[in-house]
Amino acid sequence: MICKLVAKSENKIDFRLETPRNTYIIKPKFMKASVTLSRDPVMMVSPASLQNRWTGSRVISVCVGLCLLLLQGCMRPVSQPFYWPPPAQSHTEYPASQPPSSQGAEVTNTGRGATTVRVVEKCLINTGQTKTFIHEVGPLETVWRLSRMYDVPQQDIYAANRMKTEDPLRIGQKLVIPNAKSLRHVIPLYPSNQWKYIIIHHTATDIGNAMLVHRSHHDRGFWQGLGYHFIIDNGTLSKCDGQIEVAPRWIKQQEGAHCKAGGMNGKAIGVALVGNFNETLPTTKQMESLAYLLRTLMQQYRIPPSQVMGHRDVDGASTDCPGKRFPWSNLRQCLSTY
């Protein structure tokens, strides 16, 4: 086992265990020392911070105890992104003719010519230093997309996962992303006259991500599963708070399955935020990401603010989606200043 254990505080001892795949929080009742385990194994103790004398046998006892705790599942895994510093305010654009390789289907397979598709990117999280990340593959995600999201060369992702370029990705597959430098929104913008409205939804669930909604919609009989074009995550199910997931319907430029009323499925972009906004509010980062996404889409497709609406505001829709507590005034204010 290769892992690193460090004390966060000398009085209120709160341990983080970092492994190549996860970070764990260890409650104080389990541990009282700072120990580093390595492949050799070499063990180190930090007596200055602990004011405690440790003998070799006690250290070994701790190590053995730690291994037992791991086996018993006594530790709570914590996703890496929550330890990352605030996002940098960068915004870059790339001509779509630059990126794709064999995995770059989302840009090359539109049938519209790669030079006519723009891809805009915005940093959500800057790691500050490179980190290894475990990514769970969402619907129609590609190595090209992951390379952009994490600012890691495609060949590094292939190598870290012992994959060949022709290997397909599977939904739910866990990939090692080595030396991730950031987490970015990567939004492809296709030329189209189809999109006249943007309809905002909530998932009406406390947790979720594109993969979960895709499976849920598929089970409910929705044509081709995930009915929205974009999902904005709330930091659950291994996704970051405010992360924008681009759904297959957007990549394929297909009509949605999110609002039958008013014929909106054929003319409206469906954006869903993970959460139940009858009960809670969206997170600040979700609202920031929503504002960014709406501005980007409104500008690209010349959609006026009056045609950005909630599901329940569509004539004929019988729903309270996106929830009674959705902060419309804040969003309208944000969009009006754009």
Mutual angle of helices 328-336 and 284-301, in 10-degree steps: 50
- DSSP, collapsed to helix, strand or coil, labels residue 25 as strand
273 in contact with Zn ion (CB under 5 A):
no
Please choose, out of 49-57, 75-83, 176-184, 319-327, the segment that lies near Zn ion by the rule CB under 5 A: 319-327
Residues shown for the chain: 338
Q: Considering beta carbons, is residue 126 or 203 the nearer one to Zn ion? A: 203
**Interaction residues for Zn ion, span 46-105 (CB under 5 A):** none
Q: Write down the least CB distance from residue 232 to Zn ion, Å.
A: 13
Q: Given strand 118-136, what is the order of strands in its sheet?
A: 91-95, 118-136, 174-189
Q: Considering beta carbons, is residue 24 or 277 the nearer one to Zn ion? A: 277
Q: Are 265 and 255 in contact (CB under 8 A)?
A: yes
- DSSP, collapsed to helix, strand or coil, labels residue 113 as coil
Q: Considering beta carbons, is residue 35 or 271 the nearer one to Zn ion? A: 271
Q: Considering beta carbons, is residue 180 or 273 the nearer one to Zn ion? A: 273
Q: Are 321 and 202 in contact (CB under 8 A)?
A: yes
Q: Write down the least CB distance from residue 213 to Zn ion, Å.
A: 11
- DSSP, collapsed to helix, strand or coil, labels residue 105 as helix
**x/- string (CB under 5 A) for Zn ion, residues 163-202?**
--------------------------------------x-
Q: Write down the least CB distance from residue 311 to Zn ion, Å.
A: 3
Taking CB atoms, the residue at the shortest distance from Zn ion is 321
Q: Write down the least CB distance from residue 201 to Zn ion, Å.
A: 3
Torsion of CA 269, 125, 212, 23, to 10 degrees: 180
Q: Write down the least CB distance from residue 157 to Zn ion, Å.
A: 34
List alpha helices for 34-104, DSSP H: 47-50, 56-72
Please choose, out of 10-18, 136-144, 233-241, 305-313, the segment that lies near Zn ion by the rule CB under 5 A: 305-313
Please choose, out of 70-78, 148-156, 207-215, 306-314, the segment that lies near Zn ion by the rule CB under 5 A: 306-314
Distance CA 331, CA 315 (A): 21
Q: Identify which of 272, 120, 99 has the alpha carbon closest to the alpha carbon of residue 187.
A: 120
Q: Identify which of 104, 139, 136 has the alpha carbon closest to the alpha carbon of residue 119.
A: 104
Distance CA 66, CA 263 (A): 58
In the chain, what is the greatest distance between 2 CA atoms, to the nearest angstrom?
74
Q: Considering beta carbons, is residue 185 or 201 the nearer one to Zn ion? A: 201
Among 125, 311, 314, 323, binds Zn ion (CB under 5 A): 311
**x/- string (CB under 5 A) for Zn ion, residues 201-240?**
x---------------------------------------
Q: Considering beta carbons, is residue 285 or 311 the nearer one to Zn ion? A: 311
Distance CA 87, CA 161 (A): 27
Among 117, 157, 308, 321, binds Zn ion (CB under 5 A): 321
Q: Write down the least CB distance from residue 4 to Zn ion, Å.
A: 44
Q: Considering beta carbons, is residue 26 or 204 the nearer one to Zn ion? A: 204
**Interaction residues for Zn ion, span 108-167 (CB under 5 A):** none
Distance CA 227, CA 214 (A): 8
- Site of interaction with Zn ion (CB under 5 A): 201, 311, 321
